[in-house]
Amino acid sequence: MPPAAPSPSAGRGRRKIPEATVARLPLYLRSLFESQHAGLTTISSERLAELAGVNAAKVRKDLSYLGSYGTRGVGYDVEYLLFQMSRELGLTQDWPVAIVGLGNLGQALANYAGFGDRGFPIVALVDADRRVVGTTVHGVVVRHVDELPDIAAEHGVSIGIIATPAGAAQDVADRLVAAGVSSILNFAPTVISVPEEVSLRKVDLAVELQILSFYQQRRSGGPSSPALPDVARAD
Amino acid sequence: MPPAAPSPSAGRGRRKIPEATVARLPLYLRSLFESQHAGLTTISSERLAELAGVNAAKVRKDLSYLGSYGTRGVGYDVEYLLFQMSRELGLTQDWPVAIVGLGNLGQALANYAGFGDRGFPIVALVDADRRVVGTTVHGVVVRHVDELPDIAAEHGVSIGIIATPAGAAQDVADRLVAAGVSSILNFAPTVISVPEEVSLRKVDLAVELQILSFYQQRRSGGPSSPALPDVARAD
DNA sequence: CGGGGTTCGTGAACACGTGAACAAGCGGCG
DNA sequence: CGCCGCTTGTTCACGTGTTCACGAACCCCG
């Protein structure tokens, strides 16, 4: 397959943006908003890097994937860059969200106002427990998971958030996919699989804690170090 | 590769395990527990890979960092591997956790029983709001953030979870570090910085949603493309 | 209008992570 | 007791991501 050099910098022929870059764009976006609120009209890659907690060269390279929106000797125009980046991230439109599972976490997420700096309205809450179905959380009535296809079609749900116990997660994911949802954010502590054309991201509290545990434990002398009374944990 | 290298598997030597591998160890651990509960005594890299949702070669390579705990032609002994991995991850001891900020999310986290498959007891809850201080959540009395140094010392807090609004996060992080906490998990939607010797991980809901938004939006035709039904996406 | 200082954009080197392939080693069977 | 099939552990090639370094472009000032 000859690369055919598909118009690398044409305005329309979108370049492919590396995953790592995509994951940083929201950080830049947030930093730009803060800068805007602080009254700045332009910002250098160095300053933006500082705000986003990354390297300045990385910022420039990341932003260059979006296009040449900077001005040499000056920096980036905050408002213009905000606009371009919002557009690229798809934040110029709303993406309706459905939350499945209204336990502790699900309710907390439902109550989390200003969801993702707006743009992600929670249009549906779903649970499998008949005792929860019918109650109202954050102004939205909880419906039964069996109704997912109707609900998804009705509200044009784009993103599904799974906040169920681990055991139910795969089933819920399958139902979401079947209902036409093409982006899933999984909070359940288990691995789930979805078709290739569906985006899947996960947030796993237990995993995060265990990763921290690993490094913490390395600092205090490596595994199987008997019973060091955690005193004298100098640095 | 001379095995006589610097005591590669001595209790102290400790090879350096790549970050990407460390992040997967908890997944393997969970899969091993499931296999154990299902009654298996041995497991192949292939099966483990399937359960953890990764490549089999990757599993073998990851596990080889821990040591040669497999048996060729057979697989890995589930129980032994569980033990070794728990030890390496520091799960043979408890790591006391303090949660700072008891809004929606903080309360949900505090109520999240079986925290990280246990091993992470919540020993302290902290907030800056005097109206919240003194209340009880999940059996623990909320104390004021000013008391952090005492609380941390008293309970030997190892891990601090930040669940405050963005504006307070950096200040809280500084306080945690000053109180001797050396691992931090940040849920606040902002970038915070800590000294090099402190481990920091973040969970950012808004960022996750925006990443999903990016790919969702690419699928539906790319930025600012007016209403192009973008046929033929033959990448 | 030209020089100097500043900052972007990018090419190239480097580090890191991934995946395929294969030899080494183990258990089981005849 | 030796062969055969299976699975690990490791090597190697590749791709992705990061960082440095530097030319190009721009603004400001004299």
For residue B208, the SS3 value is helix
Bridge partners of B122, per DSSP, are: B97
**Per-residue tokens: B206:** 């808004």
Asked if residue A31 keeps its beta carbon closer than 7 A to nucleic acid strand C, the reply is no
Query: How many Å from the CA of B120 to C1' of C24?
Result: 41
For residue A158, the SS3 value is coil
C-alpha torsion B24→B28→B31→B36, nearest 10? -160
DSSP A70-87: EETTTEEEHHHHHHHHHH
Smallest CA–CA distance from A222 into chain B, residue: B12
d(CA A201, CA A183) in angstroms, rounded, equals 8
Residue B13 has what pLDDT? Answer: 42
Q: Which nucleotide is nearest to B22 (CA to C1')?
A: C17
Distance of residue A73 Cα from the nearest chain B Cα, in angstroms: 27
- The candidate with the shortest Cα–Cα distance to A200, out of A214, A186, A187, is A186
- Give pTM, 2 decimals: 0.91
Q: What is the pLDDT along chain A (235 residues), one digit of tens a residue?
A: 333 333 333 333 467 999 999 999 999 999 999 999 999 999 999 999 999 999 999 999 999 999 999 999 999 999 999 999 999 999 999 999 999 999 999 999 999 866 766 899 999 999 999 999 999 999 999 999 999 999 999 999 999 999 999 999 999 999 999 999 999 999 999 999 999 999 999 999 999 999 999 999 999 877 754 443 333 333 2
Q: Which residue is nearest to nucleotide D7 (CA to C1')?
A: B73
Q: Measured between CB atoms, does B178 come within 8 Å of chain A?
A: no
H/E stretch holding B186 reads strand B183-186
Q: Under an 8 A CB cutoff, do A203 and B207 touch? A: no
Q: At what angle do helices A78-89 and A56-66 cross, to 10 degrees?
A: 60
Q: Under an 8 A CB cutoff, do B215 and A115 touch? A: no
Q: Which nucleotide is nearest to A73 (CA to C1')?
A: C7
Asked if residue B211 keeps its beta carbon closer than 7 A to nucleic acid strand D, the reply is no
- The candidate with the shortest Cα–Cα distance to A188, out of A131, A106, A126, is A106
Chain B residues within 8 A of A217 when measuring between CB atoms: 89-90, 93
